[in-house]
Amino acid sequence: MEHYKMNLTLKVWKQKDSSDKGGFETYQVKDISSEMSFLEMFDVLNEQLITEGKDAIAFDHDCREGICGMCSMYINGKPHGPWEQNTTCQLHMRAFKDGDTIVVEPWRSKAFPVLKDLMVDRTAFDRIIQAGGYISVNTGNAVDANAIPIDKKDADDAFAAAACIGCGACVAACKNSSAMLFVSAKVSQLALLPQGLPERKTRVLSMVAQMDKEGFGNCTNTYACEAECPKGISVTNIARMNREYLNAGLSSE
């Protein structure tokens, strides 16, 4: 693959804290390698800003391997940028051309207040997970891995749902800032497996209630969440969660 250098114009959202109005600032970066990751390009920019005695741009990152879900950036109008099923840290600069202008923003949602610049507070997701409670486990000797037979399709669907990394791209992509894809993935991965059955009904009721309490919007089935999800989580999980919620509600009356 041919490597090349490029000069870019970056329009980056700068905001001191959640109470600040914020706005875009323009930066120039030069001699950026096409094989740099998007976050490495930001590292170069921040080194440049620090050298000039200016404030570095705050952004979330951790593993830089597409696993942790922290690299939440809205890039040219798309969560995580132009590549499909890809996180920001896995986006490489060859996705852009020399002379391009790139607009970078934080997630936009009432439930994800901006902490600073491109960093948002996603602890709403943590509280939804906490609302789901625990899983009952029988203590004692470890059982054989094959002692509990699980249908192949159920196992596959559970693993696919568990691939969700909680990045919030689904919320950022949704015109209503709905968290239904995230919550349904977390509900599904346990509802499909026998280990998750004892708390199955209380889990979905509690998690949906917490989701509503956090201020996320409603789902109107535009499928934007699935289209922008870096792990390709399917909207079929939303349908499954709706069934789980309905059944739990009926049986609790």
Assign residue 133 the CATH number of its domain.
1.10.1060.10
Q: Is the pLDDT of residue 69 over 70?
A: yes
Collapse the DSSP code of 8 into the 3-class scheme (helix H, G, I; strand E, B; otherwise coil) and give the result.
strand
Do 145 and 59 share a structural domain? no
**Per-residue pLDDT tens over the stretch 200-233:** 999 999 999 999 999 999 999 999 999 999 999 9
pLDDT of residue 111: 96
pLDDT computed for residue 245 by the predictor: 97
3 state SS of 113: coil
- Indicate whether 100 and 130 sit together in one domain: no
237 and 127 belong to one structural domain:
yes
Same domain membership, residue 211 and residue 134 = yes
pLDDT score for 135: 81
Count of the separate structural domains present in the chain: 2
pLDDT at residue 167, rounded to an integer: 97
Question: Does the residue 214 lie in any domain?
Answer: yes
Is the pLDDT reported for residue 251 higher than 80?
A: no
Is residue 28 within a helix (H) or strand (E), and if so which, with residue range? strand 23-33
pLDDT in tens, 161-191: 999 999 999 999 999 999 999 999 999 999 9
Q: Which residues pair with 5 in a beta bridge?
A: 33
| Residue that is last in its domain, among 105, 136, 168 | 105
| Domain boundary, last residue among 105, 132, 157 | 105
**What is the C-alpha to C-alpha distance for residues 118 and 106, in angstroms, rounded to an integer?**
4
Residues 6+ apart with CB under 8 A from 107: 72, 74, 79, 120, 122, 168, 171, 172
Between the alpha carbon of residue 38 and those of residues 1, 68, 81, 83, 118, the distances in Å are 18, 16, 9, 12, 14
Cβ neighbours of 43 (radius 10 Å): 14
pLDDT of residue 63: 95
**Other CB atoms within 10 Å distance of the CB of residue 182:** 29
- The token duo for 166 is 């909680």
The pTM assigned to this predicted structure is 0.93
Same domain, 91 and 129: no
> Is the per-residue pLDDT at 145 higher than 70?
no
- 99-126: per-residue pLDDT in tens? 999 999 999 999 999 999 999 999 999 9
- Same domain (yes/no): 80, 164: no
Residue 195: the pLDDT is 85
**CATH number for position 47:** 3.10.20.30
pLDDT exceeds cutoff 60 at 39: yes
Q: Which residue segment(s) compose the domain that 92 sits in?
A: 5-105
Q: Among residues 59, 80, 105, which one ends one of the domains?
A: 105
Q: Does any domain span residue 116?
A: no
Supply φ then ψ for residue 137, to 5 degrees: -130, 130
Chain-centre distance for alpha carbon 21: 24
Query: Considering just the CA atoms, what is the radius of gyration of the chain in Å?
Result: 21
Torsion of CA 215, 220, 222, 223, to 10 degrees: 70
Dihedral-angle region of residue 174 (phi above 0 means left; psi in -120 to 50 means alpha; beta otherwise): beta
- Output the pLDDT for position 56: 97
